[in-house]
Structure formats: C-alpha cells, structure tokens
Structure 1
C-alpha cells in the first residue's frame, strides 16, 4: 500500500534524472549512525551531565522512549511509501503543501547549518596539528566531501560506512574499558565501582530542574536517526531496508548512548573540573589511558567528518525532494549519469561554505546566533511525523488499505506520543536557557508555514 500524493510536476522533475539505487543495507544503517554521532556526542554530553548529574541517565531514558515511539511512527509511514523526502513528503500527503514545504525547508536549513558547525570543529583540530589557518582547512574539508558526494552515492556510502565503523568500534572499546575500570579489572584506572552515581550530592543533585534541562539536551542528541528513511530510498529494496535499518539504528544508538554515559558518570564526578575538557576525555584520563586527549581529538575528527558527510547528503536529498514537489528551484532535481542530485549538492555546500567563511571573516561570529534558528527542529520534526501518522493511518483504515508496518496500539499510543512532544515544547519554554531558541526557531517556522500556505492557496486559485 502507498499513501497517494498527486504531484503533477513529478514527471517534469523526473525528466532531469532519477536518484541512484546504489546504497546497501549496511551502508544505510551506518549512514544513520554517522548522522547522529558527531562532535556533540563526544564533547557536548558533558553539558547534560553537568546539568543533571548522574540523573542524566533518566533524562536520556525519557528522551529515548520518545525517539523510539516517533521512529516507530516513521517506520509505518516510510514502509508504506519510501521517498527521499521522507517526513516532508508524508506531511504534504497528510496536511497539504504548506506542511511539506515548511518542514522540508526547515530541515534543509538545519543540515546546511550543521555542515559549517562540524567543519569548524574539524578545522580547529587539523589546523592545530598542521599549523595552517582553520578557515582554509574547513573549506578544503567541505569541498572534498562535496566532491565525494557528487561522484556517486556508492562512494558516499562506502566512505560513510568506514567513518561510522571507526566511531562504533571506538565507542564499544570505550564502553568495554569502562566496564573493566568499574569492575576494578583495569590496573591503570584511578577509579572503580559506581560510587559516583550517588556520591557528590546524590543521584539527582540538581533535582527536577536539572533533569529537565538535560532532557532537552538529550532529545536533540538523537537527531539524525530519521536519515535512515531518506537514505533507504536510494536502495534496491527500500521497504525491507527501512524496517531492518530503523530497528538496528534505534537499538544500537540506545546502547551507545546509555553505555557511554553510564561509564562516564560512574567514573567521573558530575561536578568534576575534568568535564570541562570533555566527558569522554575525562573518563579516559581517569582510566589511565595514555594520550587520552590525542585519542579523543582523532575520534572527534573522524566523527565530525562523518557527520559533515551525512549532512551534505541529507540536505541535498531534501533539496532534491523539494524540487520534485515544486517547492525548490527545478534545477535542484537534476542528476548526474550516476543518479546524484548534483545541483542540490552544490547549493547545499555553497550555502555552508558562505556561512563558514563569514564566521571566520566577519567581526562577530555568525553561526552562534544562527544556531537559535534550529533550536526546535527535532521537536517540530517529531510533531510533523506524529500528526502525519495519525492522519494517514486513519485514511488508510477508511480506505481499507493494508500497511506493511503498523505502529501499535493505534490511536491511543499515537495520541500519547503527540502529547509527549507538545509537553517537550512546553518544557523548552520554562527551562532556563532554551526560551530564546524556542522563540527564534518558532518565528522561522511560522514564516515558512505562511509562505507554504500562500503557495498552496495559489495552487488552488
């Protein structure tokens, strides 16, 4: 069964060329993992730990439940109709052009901004190692990965597979060493046991406000899992790959996040000054691993390159999908002989390069205030997925059409998920430090919605 969508311009867009089917199942899984595990995972987790203490595990647990529910809803939608536009296409099917337009462009902007953010982290590391200007390194990195993306989707998939595999092996090794250290079986470790989980002020030293603050940070750390549904559209059997990859990605990421965070809060006091250099580096130093700083820098570099690579892929595919649906310049739907959306890749990377250069050359950094514009992207995306699933599931039931994957306990669990997402948005409004993000990103979202409504009315007029 496929949810139907009448798009008269699809044939015109398809005349430019269709996307390749060159991604394998294992590459799709690794692409999604690569999109989630970036610099923020290895460095930014310290902020969540500092906010909630050991109770950060509760924050990640609550966030994980919501993510599992949303990914279940997305699995139902994506297996019914595999599409490069993923939730943007499903929003258009369910609610109209305005919904697909607004969430599509918001998501595109998010990943165009992720590219220079990750490039800055990588360029600062490489620039320090090589003694060359950071901006030059960032430009070379973006251009190099852009060329890799343009050559063929197989090249991109292969590169991303190995990038992500390095991160996975590193995280598993970290968790393994941590378990040995906690068990007292690592001679070099200066700490053992799990006393830090309740010492230093208790399990939740900052109380509910701290857990709430870390909850917001934890939720955004899972952003990227949805890439699996975008990538799967470029495989030979997208429905089977979506089912397999979503299940695999969700549980692997939960193990990686919970295992790593548990090791860190067990070995390092939540209020330790060590966390200022990063949570993973702090834990490795406590374990007595020589060269911890260099190891983490190398891993961060690989992680950043991987996330940057995935960001170029994701932004370009969403741009391509928007073009197919007449919501972006039609040239963005043009593909190479290898089925790669070359124009869409070019514009995504060009936008990222402009932001990168501006950040280094203008008197004031431009990326920091721009980050606020994407503060609610994860929650808005989840809200769109949930609303689309409810509408399209009801439509499928009314028309008597079968579904390959069914989100369980419908409609009760769907409405529960919707209520949880709205609760998270309310939480952002009351938790200190997130109000400005909510305000700015809400304004951007509303502007896009208004433009989308105007375009939809023009279609009907």
Structure 2
C-alpha cells in the first residue's frame, strides 16, 4: 500500500535537513583557522604594548638586571605552556585550561578560573579601547578621544561577529606588523651595537658599566611579578587551535616554539635595547623603542612607534574579544553562564557571547570620562593576579590528569611535560613566591588583595550556580523524556496508516 503524500513529507524533510547539515559543516570547515593564522597568533600574541612601552618602566626600576626578570618570567611561561600543550594536544577544546581544570580538579575549579579569565580579558578590552582612543586623539586633537575608542570597539566587535576567519585574518595582519617591527629592531640594533651604522655609540659594556644590578635581587623579583603579565596571552593559541584545521599540530608547534619566541622577542629585544641605550638614560615618557630608533637615525621614530603601539593595542583588543567570548561560551555549556550565550549565528560564531564580552568595554568608554583612574585601577587591579592563578591551576591540573592516565595513555601522548611532576612543583613554588613579593610591594599589593577578593567571591557564588545548573539539567532531561514519549505515541498511528 502506498503511503499518503503527507507521510512522504518526512522523507523529503530529512533529505533537506541532511543537505542543510552538509552545507553547515562545509561552511564551518571553510571558516576554521588555518596554520598561518595560528602561526602568527602564536608569534604576535606574545608581543603587546607592554613590551613596546612597559619595558622602559621595568628597566628603569630594575636596571640591566631586567634581563633576568624577563628570563625568569619567560622560563615560567615556557613550563606552563608545555603543561598546557600536553593537555591540549591530547584533547583540543575551546575552553582550554578551564575544561582541563574542571576535569582534573572539579567543577568548582573550571567555574572559578573560567570567570576570572573572562573578567580579565573584558577588562583588558576596555583598557585597550581607551588606549586606542588616546593615540588617535594625539594625531587628531580636534576630535574627542571617546569617538575613536567607540569606533575601535565597534569595528572589532563587527570583525569578531562576521566569522572566525575574519578574526584570524585581522589578527594575522596586526601580528605581522608587530613581528616585523621587532625583527627590524633586532636587525638594525645588532648593526648599531657592532658599530656598522655610522655614529654608533652602542656597546655590550652599556649593560655592565652603569651597574648591572643596582637595586638588588628584590628588584629583580619585583620585575618578574611585572613582566609575567607581559607574557599573558600566550595561551590564546591553545584556544584558537581548537577551531583550526589541525588543532593538535597547531598546539604542538606553538608550544615547541615558545622558547625561542620568548628568547628572541623579549629577552633579545631588551638586551639590544640595553646595549643601544644605557639604562639610566631612558626617558620616562617616551617608548624605549622609539628612543632607540631615534638613535638609529630614523626620522619620526616616536610617531612610527606610536603607530606600532596602536597596532599592538588593536591586536590585543581583537584577541581579547575572541578569548573572552570563547571562554564565556565554554562556561555556558556547563551551565556556569546563561544558556542563551551558546547561540551561534550563520557563520558559527557565538554572537551573544561576543556582545556580552563587549559590554564592559562600552561601559568603560563612558566611565573613563567620569572617573578614569578609579575605574581602570579597580578593573586591572582586581584581575591583576589572574595570570598567576591560571598558571597555578594549569600546573596542578596537568599533575592530576597525568597521574590518572594508564601507562598506555602516557605512552600515547603526542607532547609530554618535562620532568613531571618536579617542574610542576617548581612552577607552583615560583607562583607562590611572586604573590608574596607582590603582597609586600606597596604598588602591587592592591592587585593581590583585590584578586584574592574576586577569587573568594567566585568560590562563594559557585554553590548557588551549581544548584541552578543542576536544576536546569534536570529540566532539560525531563523535557527530553517528554519529547521522546510524544514521539512514541505518534509512531503507532503512523505505522497503522502505512
């Protein structure tokens, strides 16, 4: 007996659904990040305004021994990235260390570190938007800086909303400018120090003749506490790799190259800087790189470096929106954030998570003109220790997850942490020492106490969020069972008619 037309419809709908699913999958495949995107995100993600501008402050307060501060901080980051690389190559996920902390330490750890990380990046996005406005205002003083800040936020909100690929392409070119600047500086600086450039006064002796460690080891450790935040953002590549064509390969490559990236871009550039300009001659209100480029005879060095700092700020704004929205999206999957945050647009982008991650930025643009110093001091200080919290969570998580593995699982790891678990203990001890040093530093102490306050608040809130998530999970399961029952009631009549 031939089925009626109305019963043939489900077959046509299934076919259409299959076609739509195929097109969606094809679209998502095209939208994935490519190896060149990951490579430049890994290279440029570690270079920010904290290097181009902030390095001068570190050098003035530590002296030439700032090299040790950057080297020690860099070594800590290398170890953390190796641990994160082991977990990410074994299981690439967008939530990265939040997901691993949840698996290794419990839901409370994933909830806590995920929200702290999101809060950190939305604060950074707000800060960078204002920096962008101020740089443009210097070039166009007749235009209020808030208009440029707002324009920057709107442009990069749109860029992230368009597609994953648009984020990747934008970050690729912004990072390319930063990397090119550092490479040019290293090349020309080396020629200057070697005396090949006419009029050169650079020398290796500039590092030692003016006192290598004028303020002692305490200043060096204080310097580590400062520069460790310059490296924060290196971990973004592990989140981005989860949305790439070859996630495990991308993470492995980024992890394996982080050593020379830190040595070249940070330790190397600071070393050249110290050889080009004696540390006690660096001006306070000018980028040390702009000052050094001026020594090379480059006309308009300060304006060129302002453009590079602008690029760095735009890059951080772009990547901050990406990492913050992806972390929020990962939190929502477990009920730690509103479920509606999971909604994606046609390009597969979590658009609601992106918009929610921009709210603080738009609010900060307005608040900046009411109480600029108070607002930003609170945002940045209350999230100031997030990097250290993340590093500690990664160290403990990798320790726990490795210990749970069978011998066969350990043998199958594509990337392994060195000297496990001894170097995990070294990282934890270093994090603890840095926090103690910061707590006794009058300028850094507010970051410690406000960050610990934010951590305590999340731990207090977590039980309530967990119960809400559990109720939501039970409601979803009840709805699923009811839907299955409805389907079962309908199926006999369909069979009967057929």
Q: What does residue 14 of structure 1 align with?
A: none
Match of 1:360 in 2: 369
2:108 to 98, 108, 111: 98
Match of 2:404 among 392, 395, 398: 395
Give the distance between the partners of 1:24 and 1:449, measured in 2 at CA.
38
- 1:157 is aligned to 168
Match of 1:445 in 2: 455
Q: How many residues align?
A: 443
Give yes or no for contact 1:275–1:282 (8 Å, CA) kept in 2: no
Q: CA 1:64 to 1:358, structure 2 compared with 1: closer, same or farther past 3 Å?
A: same
Alignment correspondent of 1:289: 298
Distance in structure 2 (CA, Å) of the matches to 1:255 and 1:362:
39
SS in structure 1 at match of 2:195: coil
Give the direction of change, closer, same or farther, for the CA distance of 1:51–1:363 in structure 2 (3 Å limit). Answer: closer
Q: Select the residue among 23, 27, 48 that pairs with 2:33.
A: 23
Whether 2:232 is the aligned partner of 1:182: answer: no
- Answer yes or no: is 1:315 the counterpart of 2:294: no
Offset from partner CA, 1:177-236 (integer Å, 9 cap, x none):
1111111111154x2212221122x11111112212211112111100000110001012
Equivalent in 422, 425, 450 of residue 432 of structure 2: 422
Q: Could you tell me whether the CA contact under 8 Å between 2:336 and 2:469 is conserved in 1?
A: no
* In 2: Cα distance, 1:450 partner to 1:246 partner: 35
1:137 and 2:148 matched: yes
Are 2:241 and 1:241 equivalent residues in the alignment?
no
Contact 1:20 1:153 in 2 (8 A): no
Shift of residue 245 of structure 1?
A: 2.1
**Displacement after TM superposition at 1:259 (Å):** 1.6
Could you tell me whether the CA contact under 8 Å between 1:29 and 1:249 is conserved in 2? Answer: no
- Partner Cα distance (2:258, 2:194) in 1: 29
The answer as to whether partners of 1:53 and 1:265 remain within 8 angstroms in 2 is no
Q: 1:121 aligns with which of 131, 141, 151?
A: 131
Q: Can you list the C-alpha shifts for 1:49-104, whole angstroms capped at 9, x where unaligned?
A: 01111100011111111111111100111111111100011111111111101110
Q: CA separation of 1:417/1:273 partners in 2, compared to 1, >3 Å: closer, same or farther?
A: closer
Deviations 1:263-297 (A, max 9, x none): 11112222225243121112112222211111101
TM-score (norm 2): 0.85
Aligned to 2:7: none
Aligned to 1:324: 333
SS in 1 for 2:452: helix
Q: Which one has a bigger Cα radius of gyration?
A: 2
- Structure 1 window deviating more from structure 2 (17-26 vs 78-87): it is 17-26
- Alpha-carbon distance in structure 1 between the residues aligned to 2:299 and 2:426: 48
Following the alignment from structure 2 to structure 1, what is the Cα–Cα distance between the partners of residues 441 and 390?
A: 20
Q: Which runs of 4+ in 1 moved over 6 A?
A: 457-461
The separation in 2 between residues aligned to 1:193 and 1:370, in whole angstroms, is 41
Secondary structure of residue in 1 paired with 2:285: helix
Cα deviation, residue 415, structure 1: 2.1
Distance 1:395 1:457 in 2: 28
Alignment partners' CA distance in 2, 1:354 and 1:308: 15
- TM-score of the aligned structures, taking structure 1 as reference length: 0.91
Seen in structure 2, the aligned counterparts of structure 1 residues 31 and 360 have a Cα distance that, compared at 3 Å, is farther
Shift of 1:249: 4.0
Distance 2:28 2:366 in 1: 32
1:460: Cα distance to partner? 7.6
Which structure is higher in RCO with an 8 Å CA cutoff and minimum separation 6? 1
Contact 1:164 1:306 in 2 (8 A): yes
Q: Distance in 2 between matches of 1:434 and 1:361?
A: 25
The equivalent residue for 2:86 is: 76
- Paired with 2:191 and 2:128, the residues of 1 have a C-alpha distance of 32
Match of 2:444 among 409, 415, 434: 434
Q: Any gaps of 5 or more consecutive residues in structure 2?
A: 1-23, 472-498
Residue 47 of structure 2 is aligned with which of 1, 17, 37? Answer: 37
2:310 corresponds in structure 1 to 301
- Where does structure 1 lack aligned partners over 5 or more consecutive residues? 1-16
Q: Name the stretch that deviates more: 98-107 or 18-27.
A: 18-27
